[in-house]
Amino acid sequence: MKHSFLLLLIFSVSFSFAQTEQEKIVEDFKPSSVNQPGKEFPKVNSEGRVRVQIEAPKANKVQLDIGGVKYDLEKNKEGVWLGESAPQDEGFHYYQLNIDGASVPDPGSKYYYGAGRWGSGIEIPAGDKEFYALKDVPHGNVSENLYFSEITQQWRRNFVYTPPGYFENLEKRYPVLYLQHGSYEDETGWSSQGHANLILDNLIASGDAEPMIIVMDNGYAYKPEDLEKAGENRPMSSFEEVLINEVIPKIDNKFRTISNRENRAIAGLSMGASHTMSIIMNNLDHFSYYGGFSGTANFPGNKKLDADTFLNGAFSNAEDIEEKLNMIFMSLGTKEAEIFFKTVNEFRDMLEKQDIDYTFYSSPDTAHEWLTWRRSLYQYAQLLFN
């Protein structure tokens, strides 16, 4: 009898605790802004919790996997699984459902390319979302631009943002920003997850940014012979060669650009920041603005840079950098992993050691995620081509 009483007591306490936990969830869930048309789930509440639902009557276990954390869902008598996450940070997040060990996209959400796959995404409304919101202002266009690369022997593409008025005033020419994605993402990221076009539309409408063209290419580019030699290892990247020798000339030929260094900028996030730092340091005659969001050249270990670029922890061509670069811009989220603080701070120390000017932006309460990079682009774009 004592054992029975103890089990009953434990069950009662557990049940009460579960009820208390459940009561803490604010029941003001609304369909996500990035759901597929007509889909009620996934939903987000004012706490930033994500609630998902999926019909899988024969499944034994279903979980929501977001931010690397898995949350168990519960099945009702109709075979529908339902559950929610803990509160998430503001901004965009990739997620997936795990059904009996198989990770699959949520059929209710739109799909995005990230983490090396096409999968689900969710928006946790941000307090400052107005700067990337769709508003009643003049809008530019994002077009898919296909080209054949002789270097990679493949058809490639980039997405090109042309600002409002581009197709009305056919005499006007524009400066260009080359904007790169991060690792395991692609050329769709900045216009899809990043809302780069909406950010620029709003900035241009308010007079806070110069009208510009933005080119968003794929940072993964390899020569056939390098792919063959690498086997299962990572091949040497040829993106710098593709960008300098193919992409820029093709963009200048096809679009009404101002094709000189003073009117050409480059920026990237994470892996893209490393790519673009390598590219600009090897090609100072091509660019006058650099933006590194959540990353730099991974100094001092970036082998893509010319061997003589860094000498004893300093730029060997500091005077050339000061003369040719109008701006070096760096940014980090305040909740980034320590490795990113270490890398960026090493780079900042090097710049300060040589009295090279730079601009640094800190995104409040964000980690290695798209809200950090949206905010970074918002800050960076206002400083370009003035």
User: What confidence tier does 34 reach under pLDDT thresholds 50, 70, 90?
Assistant: very high
Same structural domain for residues 202 and 258?
yes
Residue 19 counted as domain residue:
no
User: What confidence tier does 126 reach under pLDDT thresholds 50, 70, 90?
Assistant: very high
Mean pLDDT of the chain: 90
pLDDT at 305: 53
Judge whether 92 and 121 are in contact, CB under 8 Å.
yes
Residue 22 pLDDT exceeds 70: no
Q: How far apart are CA 31 and CA 160, in angstroms?
A: 31
Same structural domain for residues 239 and 329?
yes
Q: Which of 63, 96, 125 is the last residue of a domain?
A: 125
Residue range 23-39: mean pLDDT, rounded: 93
Summarize pLDDT for 36-54 with one digit per residue, the tens. Answer: 999 999 999 999 999 999 9
Query: How many domains does the chain contain in total?
Result: 2
**Cis peptide leading into residue 42 (ω within 30°):** yes
User: What confidence tier does 15 reach under pLDDT thresholds 50, 70, 90?
Assistant: very low
C-alpha 329, offset from chain centre = 17
pLDDT at 234: 84
From the CA atom positions of the chain, what is the Rg in Å? 24
Percentage with pLDDT > 90 across the chain: 80
Q: How far apart are CA 117 and CA 353, in angstroms?
A: 41
Same structural domain for residues 107 and 193?
no
pLDDT at 317: 83
Same structural domain for residues 147 and 93?
no
Judge whether 278 and 255 are in contact, CB under 8 Å.
no
pLDDT at 302: 47
Same structural domain for residues 103 and 175?
no
Residue 276 counted as domain residue:
yes
Q: How far apart are CA 139 and CA 199, in angstroms?
A: 10
Give the residue carrying structure tokens 């070096």.
328
Residue range 248-273: mean pLDDT, rounded: 97
User: What confidence tier does 20 reach under pLDDT thresholds 50, 70, 90?
Assistant: very low
Same structural domain for residues 148 and 233?
yes
Q: How far apart are CA 226 and CA 318, in angstroms?
A: 33
Same structural domain for residues 77 and 192?
no
Q: Where are the alpha helices (DSSP H) in 149-234?
A: 189-192, 196-206, 224-230
Q: What is the DSSP string of 247-316?
A: IHHHHHHHS-B--SGGGEEEEEETHHHHHHHHHHHH-TTT-SEEEEES--S-TT--TTS-TTSBSSSSBT
Beta strand segments in 59-196, E = 62-66, 69-72, 74-75, 80-84, 91-99, 102-104, 111-114, 117-124, 141-149, 154-162, 176-180
Residue 21 counted as domain residue:
no
Q: Which of 125, 143, 159 is the last residue of a domain?
A: 125
Per-residue tokens: 4: 């029975």
Same structural domain for residues 115 and 152?
no
**Residues 6 or more apart from 138 whose CB is under 8 A from it?**
164, 165, 201, 204, 205
Residue range 100-123: mean pLDDT, rounded: 96
Residue range 116-127: mean pLDDT, rounded: 96
Residue 377 pLDDT exceeds 60: yes
Summarize pLDDT for 276-331 with one digit per residue, the tens. Answer: 998 999 999 999 999 999 987 664 444 445 545 655 567 778 889 999 999 999 99
Residue 21 pLDDT exceeds 90: no
Residue 101 counted as domain residue:
yes
* Full domain range(s) for residue 146: 130-381
pLDDT at 329: 97
Residue 39 counted as domain residue:
yes
Q: How far apart are CA 259 and CA 251, in angstroms?
A: 9
Summarize pLDDT for 62-102 with one digit per residue, the tens. Answer: 999 998 899 999 999 999 999 999 999 999 999 999 999 99
Residue 10 pLDDT exceeds 80: no
Residue 6 counted as domain residue:
no
Give the residue carrying structure tokens 């309460």.
365
Same structural domain for residues 73 and 164?
no
288: left (phi over 0), alpha (psi -120 to 50) or beta: alpha
User: What confidence tier does 18 reach under pLDDT thresholds 50, 70, 90?
Assistant: very low
Summarize pLDDT for 306-317 with one digit per residue, the tens. Answer: 545 655 567 778
Per-residue tokens: 23: 């009561």
CATH code for the domain of 216: 3.40.50.1820
Q: Which of 76, 107, 125 is the last residue of a domain?
A: 125
Say whether 8 sits in a helix, a strand or coil.
Answer: helix
Backbone angles phi, psi at 293, to 5 degrees: -100, 115
pLDDT at 297: 62
Say whether 240 sits in a helix, a strand or coil.
Answer: helix
Residue 11 counted as domain residue:
no
Summarize pLDDT for 184-209 with one digit per residue, the tens. Answer: 999 999 999 999 999 999 999 999 99
Same structural domain for residues 66 and 197?
no
CA distances to 17, 19, 128, 130, 383 from 378, in Å: 44, 43, 11, 11, 9
Residue 3 pLDDT exceeds 50: no
pLDDT at 233: 86
Same structural domain for residues 73 and 45?
yes
Same structural domain for residues 118 and 139?
no
CATH code for the domain of 38: 2.60.40.10
Residue 16 counted as domain residue:
no
